[in-house]
Structure 1
Amino acid sequence: MNIIEGQMRLNGNEKVAIINGRFNHIITDRLVEGAQDSFKRHGGNDENLDLILVPGAFEIPFALQKALESGKYDAICCVGAVIRGSTPHFDYISAEATKGIASATMNHSIPVSNGVLTTNTIEQAIERAGSKAGNKGAEAMTTIIEMLDLYAQMDK
C-alpha cells in the first residue's frame, strides 16, 4: 500500500496569510504569535507571511473569501476567539464563522485551517492561547504546513 502523508516542512517560498478576528484581542494576539512562530520554525520566510485583521470572528469568512479569490496565497490560517456570554449571540457567531470558513474553502484548492476558538469561558480561551492546552494558533498553522506538503505530493 502506498501511503501519501504530508510532512512538517516548508521550502521558504510559500506565501501564507493569517486572518485574525481582533475581538478578544488579548486571546487572539497570542494565537497570531503562535501561528507566526510555527510558520518560522518550520522554514517559512517571514516576508511571505501576511496578517489580515478583521473586527471579529464573524468577518473572517468574508476576508477569507476575498483572500482566496486574490490568488496571492498558497495557504490561509484563520484564527479568532468567540467566548460564550449570557446571550445566544455566541451560538450564532461561532456557527456562522465555522460554516463560513468551510463554505469559502470548498471552492478553492489551497489549504485553509480553522483556528477560531469557541470556548465557554475566558479561562478556557487562555488555556488554548498558549498556556496549559497549548496554542491553537500554532496548531492551525502546523495544519496548513502539513497540508501544503500533502497537496504537493498529491500533484506529483
Structure 2
Amino acid sequence: MNQYSSSLTSPGTPRIAVVSAGWHRDIVGQARQALRAELQAQGHPPDHVDEFEVPGAFEIPLHAQRLARSGRYRAIIACGLVVDGGIYRHEFVAGAVIDGLMRVQLDCDVPVFSAVLTPHHFHEHEEHQRYFAAHFVKKGQEVAQACLQTLRALQALQPLGA
C-alpha cells in the first residue's frame, strides 16, 4: 500500500485517497480494485490514487480525517466490511464509522465516500464469500462514479479564478 505521496495534485487532476479495512481483505479488496479500475476507465490517472490500509472499519474515520486535513487529497473513499459476529456490536460499529466519515467531510470540507458495508447475515462460508466479493465489485464501481461526479459538481461551485 502507498503511504503519503510526496507529489501534490496538479490543478486539473485531484488526488484521491482510499482507506481500506484489513479485516476481510479478500472481500474488501474487491471494492478497492473495482474502484481503481472504474476511476481509470473514467480517465482518472492511477498515480493520483493513494491507498492506505487500517486494521478494521472502526479505524477508518480517524485515518480519513488525517488524510483530509493533510491538504493532499480532494476526496477520500473508505472501504470496509462490518459483520455480525454473533454479538450485538456490529450495528454500533457501522453507525460509528458512517457518522465519523460524515463528520470528517463536514469538518474538513473534503468529500468522503463510503463503501463500508454491513451485510445483514454474513457467514464465512463459500457462498457468502462469493456473493459479497461480487457485491463489493459493484459497490467499488458505484463509489468511484459517485466520487468523480461529486468532484465535478463541487468544482462547478467554485468561484471563478479559484
Same fold by TM-score greater than 0.5: yes
State the TM-score, normalizing by the size of structure 2.
0.81
Alignment of 1:7-156 (within 5 A): 13-120=13-120, 121-122=122-123, 126-131=130-135, 135-156=138-159
| Displacement of 1:117 | 0.7
Structure 1 runs of 4+ with >6 Å offset: none
Q: Deviations over 1:44-65 (max 9, x none)?
A: 1111110011001000001000
- The answer to which structure, 1 or 2, has the higher relative contact order (CA under 8 A, 6+ apart) is 1
1:135 match: secondary structure = helix
Whichever structure has more strand as a proportion of its residues is 1
Matched residue pairs, number?
145
Identify if the C-alpha distance between structure 1 residues 95 and 15 changes in structure 2 by more than 3 Å, giving closer, same or farther. Answer: same
One-letter identity of the residue aligned with 2:143 = A
Give the TM-score of the pair, scaled to structure 1.
0.84
Alpha carbons 2:77, 2:114 under 8 Å: kept: yes
Q: CA shift at 1:127, angstroms?
A: 3.4
CA distance in 2, matches of 1:33, 1:154: 30
- Deviation for aligned residue 1:108: 2.1
What's the counterpart of residue 6 of structure 1?
none
AA in 1 matched with 2:149:
E
**Separation in structure 2 between the aligned mates of residue 101 and residue 126 of structure 1, nearest angstrom:** 28
SS, match of residue 142 in structure 2:
helix
Unaligned runs of at least 5 residues, structure 2? 1-10
1:4 aligns to what? none
Q: Secondary structure at the match of 2:18?
A: strand
